[in-house]
């Protein structure tokens, strides 16, 4: 199944601030994620419908709603889970 992708403004700003090569790697992983949730994906405990995709030391946090992946945060792992 192929998922649609939406990226929040906050996540876009975070992506733009990253080095070009890292942005490229994250983009490739997100592309793979759209196809049957491929990649290092884990459900976040205690949060319904929330997941994380690991890309090196960075985390792409997203929610899953029907056939849409909504990326809401892209951060280094040490800051990714703090609100």
Rounded to the nearest angstrom, the gap between the alpha carbon of residue 31 and the centroid of all alpha carbons in its chain is 10
Of the pLDDT bands very low, low, confident and very high (cuts 50, 70, 90), residue 4 is: very high
Of the pLDDT bands very low, low, confident and very high (cuts 50, 70, 90), residue 82 is: confident
Per-residue pLDDT tens for 28-60?
Answer: 999 999 998 999 999 998 888 899 999 999 999
Q: Model pTM?
A: 0.92
Whole-number pLDDT of residue 29: 96
20-33 and 9-17 helices, crossing angle to 10°: 140
Cα distance from N-terminal residue to C-terminal residue, the chain = 31
Average pLDDT, the chain: 93
Of 42, 25, 44, 33, nearest in space to 6 by CA: 33
For 49, residues 6+ apart whose C-beta sits below 8 A from its C-beta are: 63, 64, 65
CA distance 41 to 44: 9
């Amino acid at each position: 199944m192929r998922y649609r992708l939406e990226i929040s403004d906050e996540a876009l700003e975070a992506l733009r601030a990253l080095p070009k090569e890292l942005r490229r790697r994250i983009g490739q992983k997100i592309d793979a994620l759209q196809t049957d949730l491929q990649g290092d994906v884990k459900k976040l405990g205690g949060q319904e419908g929330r997941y994380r995709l690991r890309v090196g030391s960075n985390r792409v946090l997203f929610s899953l709603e029907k056939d849409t992946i909504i990326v809401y945060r892209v951060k280094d792992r040490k800051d990714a889970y703090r609100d």
